């Protein structure tokens, strides 16, 4: 199918459908780079057909595909990929015995803390709870993230029940990704309600945004790597 067809919202939503389609959080396209700065361009369409400006785990997937199947495009296990959020460079860290990529380091760009402490009011929920107020950190990493650290209760339950309301909160006209995290002695546990997708097993930009929020709040030192534990696996943010 031509790219114009595949990138249509209805086509993307049908392909990403977990029951009637292939099933995915989104579709990632690798194209020839439009400039000499990179050799590939990445576009990401969310499961609901909307565009995603940035995708950290998508970049790692792109790096693996390029290195495992198009090695002629990469130089010294590194490459700059064009995205809607700007050029992002990756570097292969590890390969298995057959030469396949197993670990990738990705440049995510300079984060911007838009609101270090943003208060948001939520309406009553189906279980009869009164209106509540949450406080989070608003971080831009090419795409918007609201990070709620040290959230009380089950993080997955919070992401599933409150995440949709926060994604569509009036404070975010373009919607937002929402991360619910809790710092421990060994790292940060995180669940992300992803804009245009829903509850996701992994979110690279969300992990970075959570690390930025932890540094901004003074709960983590920027000089130390942070282990971020997501349902789909662990990421290291530095």
Residue numbers annotated as active site: 55, 203
DSSP 60-125: HHHHHHHHHH-GGG-BTTEEEEEETTEEEEEEEEEE-TTS-EEEEEE-----EEEEEEEEEEE---
Residue 86 backbone phi and psi in degrees, to 5: 115, 175
Please measure the distance between the N-terminal and C-terminal CA atoms of the chain and give it in whole angstroms: 40
Q: What is the DSSP letter of 206?
A: H
β-strands 177-184, 144-149: how paired? Answer: parallel
Please give the backbone phi and psi of residue 115, each rounded to the nearest 5 degrees, phi first.
Answer: -140, 110
């Amino acid at each position: 199918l031509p790219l114009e067809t595949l990138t249509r919202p209805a086509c993307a939503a049908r392909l990403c459908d977990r029951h009637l389609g292939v099933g995915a959080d989104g579709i990632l396209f690798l194209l020839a780079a439009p400039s000499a700065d990179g050799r590939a361009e990445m576009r990401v369409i969310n499961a609901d057909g909307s565009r995603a400006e940035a995708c950290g785990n998508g970049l790692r997937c792109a790096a693996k595909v390029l290195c495992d199947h198009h090695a002629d495009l990469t130089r010294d296990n590194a490459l700059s990929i064009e995205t809607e959020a700007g050029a992002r460079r990756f570097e292969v860290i590890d390969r298995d015995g057959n030469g396949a990529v197993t670990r990738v380091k990705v440049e995510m760009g300079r984060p911007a803390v838009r609101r270090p402490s943003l208060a948001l009011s939520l309406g009553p929920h189906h279980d009869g709870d009164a209106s509540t107020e949450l406080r989070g950190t608003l971080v831009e990493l090419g795409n918007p993230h609201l990070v709620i650290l040290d959230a009380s209760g089950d993080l997955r339950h919070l992401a599933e029940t409150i995440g949709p309301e926060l994604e569509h909160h009036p404070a975010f006209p373009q919607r937002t990704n929402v991360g619910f995290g809790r710092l421990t002695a060994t790292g940060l546990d995180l669940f992300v309600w992803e804009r245009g997708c829903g509850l996701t097993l992994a979110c690279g930009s969300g992990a970075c945004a959570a690390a930025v929020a932890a540094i901004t709040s003074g709960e983590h030192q920027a000089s130390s790597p942070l282990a971020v534990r997501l349902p789909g696996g662990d990421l290291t943010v530095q």
